[in-house]
Amino acid sequence: MSEKAALHLFEGYGIELEYMIVDRETLAVRPIADKLMEQVGGGYDREVDLGEVAWSNELALHVIEMKSNGPAPKLTGLASKFQANVRRIEDLLAPMGARLLPTAMHPFMDPYREMRLWPHEDDVIYKTFDRIFDCRGHGWANLQSTHINLPFSGDDEFGRLHAAIRLVLPLIPGLAASSPFLEGKKAPNLDARLDVYRGNAKRVPSVSGRVVPERVFTRAEYEGRLLQSIYDDLKPLDPDGTLAHEWVNARGCIARFDRMAIEIRLLDIQECPAADIAVAATVVALVRALVEERHCDTQAQRAFDENALSAILLDGIRDADQALISDNALLAAFGFPSKGPARQRDVWQHVIESFVASDPGYREWAPALALYVEHGTLARRIVSATGPAPTHARLVHVYDELARCLTDGKLFAPAG
- pLDDT single digits (tens) 211-267: 999 999 999 999 999 999 999 999 999 999 999 999 999 999 999 999 999 999 999
pLDDT at residue 1, rounded to an integer: 42
pLDDT at residue 41, rounded to an integer: 78
For the chain, the 3-state helix, strand and coil shares in percent, each to the nearest 5, are 50, 15, 40
pLDDT at residue 122, rounded to an integer: 61
- Cα 85 to chain centroid, rounded: 19
Q: Whose CA is closest to 269, among 56, 138, 101?
A: 101
Domain range summary for the chain, segments of one domain joined by + = 118-397
pLDDT at residue 69, rounded to an integer: 92
pLDDT at residue 207, rounded to an integer: 97
Cis upstream peptide for 31 (omega within 30°)? no
pLDDT at residue 8, rounded to an integer: 97
* pLDDT per position as a tens digit, 387-410: 999 999 999 999 999 999 999 999
Q: Is the pLDDT of residue 198 over 50?
A: yes
* pLDDT per position as a tens digit, 123-160: 788 889 999 999 888 988 999 999 999 999 999 999 99
CA distance 279 to 191: 15
Residue 388 corresponds to which amino acid? P
Q: Is the pLDDT of residue 4 over 50?
A: no
pLDDT at residue 3, rounded to an integer: 44
Cross-strand bridge partners of residue 342: 325
Task: Give 120's pLDDT tier (boundaries 50, 70, 90).
Answer: confident
CA distance 246 to 55: 22
Q: Identify the DSSP state of 99.
A: E
- Cα 161 to chain centroid, rounded: 18
Burial of 312 (0-12, 13-18, 19+ CB in 10 A): buried
Q: Mean pLDDT across the stretch 345-359?
A: 98
pLDDT at residue 5, rounded to an integer: 64
Q: Provide the CATH topology of domain 118-397.
A: Creatine Kinase; Chain A, domain 2 (3.30.590)
Q: C-alpha distances in angstroms, 388 versus 140, 178, 336?
A: 26, 15, 33
Cross-strand bridge partners of residue 16: 67, 147
Q: Mean pLDDT across the stretch 165-173?
A: 98
Neighbour count for residue 3 (Cβ, 10 Å): 12
Q: Mean pLDDT across the stretch 337-366?
A: 97
Q: Whose CA is closest to 147, among 49, 38, 68, 29?
A: 68
